[in-house]
Structure 1
């Protein structure tokens, strides 16, 4: 009889202990769930944040905005605040829109030779290009490219034949540079819509405008001598009111590809010599 009483009492004690443990676990789970729902401050990129933009300027111009998310939804390393300690930090690279901003995306290292990795004795030159001019999305940092330049051919002279030739506005295209290294790609602003029909203006109607086109800033690494060639090609014939230098074209080189530097053509056919 005594043994049965002891066994019954032990069972009751174990049952009570189990109930207490279950209750404590449930309370802890509720607490953890509530903590996971607690709002946490993060920053979200609303627009592209160009590399080199300070945190302070990014917030001031609305490129990034402060918001709150549940604690469990906050990514590790998310930027939690902008203070005097980090407000002067700059974006290490272009930040795309629509993502939570990480603290590691900003740092004290500013743009410059070290930031984009220009080799000793070389210079970096940037060209603003649309997708076709840069081989779509296939030209990336680390690519090796050939650069072409298209221009108008002119003859010197005052005779009638020369004048007739120049009136034809003959275009030529030639290889400008080969074996060029791409060290950076960045998004630039959209080109402004431009009127396409002068006739509509003359009639008093609203001019038709073209759709803005996304362009990209492609940065290449060159010797000082080659940089002069590229800058001259970019400046020659470029219209500052228009989109990128449309007469500049990039071509992605394949492995072991050698593009003869004297290749050229014009409206009348090839005249470059390939050896």
Structure 2
């Protein structure tokens, strides 16, 4: 057999062995992380799901995993049979633990603040640092700050308030990390069309923070901030 072919085959075998070793190590790391913890089974979303999806349709977009009991949010669904006949009342994102509060009879709204006429809802997942440590509740108003790093290396990174006094219609602490820890909050916001586009673009290409606002919050004085403004 050609020496080059033998070398190629050997390299492929070694690469496969490396992947297997990494997989076994990762599994062992998860087992060590859960060692001594009481585990419970919950349903976790494995891909983004749109609002109005039935429980029957969720079978292909969810999985049952075991997580430490102390990290499982209240109202977590342990098997899809518990929400049979119901549908999602908001969009769900990959990694989110399915909650009973996210499921309602088709067409019903539950546990949410009403959406003003002319507005629409959009959900974003944020970690604790970017969501006021999970303090946001339905009915609250938030500001949205975005930071971008332009692809053009000659352009500076910048930060700016893009929205203020945005109504929160739903807030769920249900985003779970690989080790079962709660890593963030899913916020559902009521916005107008252009604002929905701003949020999606910012979440896709930049980094989003929210601030907790009230009727006395002074939103004046905002400007585009670069490193030069910070060190002045």
Q: Conserved in 2, the CA contact under 8 Å of 1:177 and 1:261?
A: no
Can you list the C-alpha shifts for 1:145-189, whole angstroms capped at 9, x where unaligned? 11101112587xxxxxxx7xx2xx732111111111111123454
Q: Conserved in 1, the CA contact under 8 Å of 2:141 and 2:213?
A: yes
1:126 to 116, 123, 126: 123
Q: Conserved in 2, the CA contact under 8 Å of 1:46 and 1:97?
A: no
Distance 1:270 1:61, change over 3 A: closer
Counterpart of 2:225? Answer: 265
Q: Does structure 1 residue 173 correspond to structure 2 residue 168?
A: no
Counterpart of 2:133? Answer: 136
Q: Conserved in 1, the CA contact under 8 Å of 2:143 and 2:211?
A: yes
Counterpart of 2:196? Answer: 227
Instruction: Write the mapping of 1:101-112 to structure 2, written as runs, cut at 5 A.
Output: 107-110=104-107
Distance 1:122 1:55, change over 3 A: closer
Can you list the C-alpha shifts for 1:82-138, whole angstroms capped at 9, x where unaligned? 7xxx832346689x899xx8xx99652347899763222111121110011000121
Counterpart Cα distance in 1 of 2:163 and 2:209: 11
Counterpart Cα distance in 2 of 1:57 and 1:189: 21
1:216 positional shift: 2.2
Counterpart Cα distance in 1 of 2:126 and 2:84: 32
Counterpart Cα distance in 1 of 2:222 and 2:215: 20
> 1:230 is paired with a residue of what secondary structure?
helix
Counterpart Cα distance in 2 of 1:131 and 1:252: 13
2:168 to 174, 182, 185: 182
TM-score (norm 1): 0.46
Counterpart Cα distance in 2 of 1:143 and 1:61: 32
1:140 positional shift: 1.3
Judging by fraction of residues, say which structure has more strand.
2
Counterpart of 1:64? Answer: 78
1:251 positional shift: 0.5
Distance 1:46 1:226, change over 3 A: same
Q: Conserved in 1, the CA contact under 8 Å of 2:113 and 2:138?
A: no
| The structure with more radius of gyration | 1
1:229 positional shift: 1.9
Counterpart of 1:9? Answer: none
Counterpart of 1:254? Answer: 214
Q: Which runs of 4+ in 1 moved over 4 A?
A: 48-63, 91-94, 104-107, 110-116
Distance 1:146 1:185, change over 3 A: same
Q: Conserved in 1, the CA contact under 8 Å of 2:113 and 2:168?
A: no
Structure 1: tracts of 5 or more residues without a match: 1-44, 67-80, 156-162, 194-210, 238-246
Counterpart Cα distance in 1 of 2:88 and 2:41: 15
CA-based RMSD of the aligned residues comes to 4.5
**Paired residues, number:** 168
